């Protein structure tokens, strides 16, 4: 279904998150446009998952302003409008693919009359046709990841927050998932996709680069290479990290 949200899809002002007595995200300001694939990049421990949890409203000890589609993060009004895919596949391994998706359709508030069509649509989007009656525990790791994505899609969300969805996948599956992400964005959805694989940066419309809970850059792939003079995204990111380290001294 075509989406037509015109304002910022995701917005934070002065976002601070503390965990275990440590500041994990420190005064973060960002604004994510709608209808794009936004890459959230950074090394392990940079605060990517914490930021994503704050945006979907499940993170404790959050201060500052966090809005999604103009609403405070985590409010009931966003229940069907935001889909969240965690690093580990968040589906039930003892249920079939279809049973999982019907369950998540009910959680999203879809009426029973619409659930079967939504399940069929989500299965088609992630290319799992023929696996509907297969128990998830018998699927491959890549297939389970696609079931988890389908579970987030079944409610037809406007925003998808995806935490390292391609980790551990082979190059073919990674390519296919990114093609799916592009299709979803073309329909007007906003995707925030975290990764520590720098070559995935070229698949995004815009990049947010985090280090130690701070925003190092908000840029496009082309601008990233142009401003750093680096030949690829990985070396460009290292240039920015080195600059940030020197400025912090």
Q: Identify whether residues 44 and 11 lie together within a single domain.
A: yes
Q: Identify whether residues 167 and 180 lie together within a single domain.
A: yes
Among candidate residues 133, 156, 179, the one where a domain is terminated: 156
Q: Identify whether residues 3 and 69 lie together within a single domain.
A: yes
Among candidate residues 156, 183, 209, the one where a domain is terminated: 156
Give mean pLDDT, residues 202-210.
92
- Measure the CA dihedral 201/56/164/142, to 10°: -130
Range of the domain at 202: 1-81+157-249
pTM: 0.90
Q: Identify whether residues 12 and 108 lie together within a single domain.
A: no
Positive or negative, the CA dihedral 201, 159, 84, 12 is positive
Domain count for the chain: 2
Predicted confidence (pLDDT) per residue in 63-78, tens digit? 999 999 999 999 998 9
Q: Identify whether residues 143 and 170 lie together within a single domain.
A: no
Cα atoms found within 13 Å of the Cα of residue 208, Cβ hemisphere only: 27
Among candidate residues 125, 156, 187, the one where a domain is terminated: 156
Q: CATH number of the domain that 123 lies in? A: 1.10.40
Q: Identify whether residues 166 and 241 lie together within a single domain.
A: yes
At 237, the pLDDT band (50, 70, 90 cuts) reads confident
| pLDDT at residue 150 tops 80 | yes
Q: Above pLDDT 90, what percent of the chain?
A: 60
Q: Identify whether residues 96 and 152 lie together within a single domain.
A: yes
Q: Identify whether residues 125 and 182 lie together within a single domain.
A: no
At 248, the pLDDT band (50, 70, 90 cuts) reads low
pLDDT on residue 191: 97
Mean pLDDT of the chain: 90
């Amino acid at each position: 279904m075509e989406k037509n949200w015109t304002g910022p899809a995701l917005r934070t002002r002065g976002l601070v998150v503390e965990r275990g007595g440590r500041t994990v995200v420190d005064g973060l300001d960002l604004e994510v446009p709608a209808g794009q694939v936004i890459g959230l990049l950074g090394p392990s421990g940079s605060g990517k998952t914490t930021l994503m949890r704050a945006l979907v409203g499940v993170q404790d000890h959050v201060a500052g302003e966090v809005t999604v589609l103009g609403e405070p993060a985590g409010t009931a009004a966003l229940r069907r409008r935001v889909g969240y895919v965690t690093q580990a596949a968040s589906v039930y391994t003892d249920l079939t693919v279809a049973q999982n998706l019907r369950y998540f359709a009910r959680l999203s508030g879809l009426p029973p009359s619409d659930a079967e069509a939504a399940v069929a649509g989500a299965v088609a989007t992630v290319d799992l046709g023929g696996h509907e009656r297969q128990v998830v525990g018998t699927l491959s790791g890549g297939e389970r990841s696609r079931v988890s994505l389908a579970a987030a899609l079944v409610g037809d969300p406007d925003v998808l927050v995806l935490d390292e969805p391609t980790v551990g996948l082979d190059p073919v599956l990674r390519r296919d998932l990114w093609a799916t992400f592009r299709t979803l964005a073309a329909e007007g959805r906003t995707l925030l996709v975290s990764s520590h694989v720098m070559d995935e940066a070229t698949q995004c419309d815009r990049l947010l680069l985090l280090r130690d809970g701070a925003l190092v850059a908000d840029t496009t792939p082309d601008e990233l290479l142009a401003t750093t003079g680096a030949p690829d995204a990985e070396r460009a990111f290292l240039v920015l990290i080195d600059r940030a380290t020197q400025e912090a001294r």
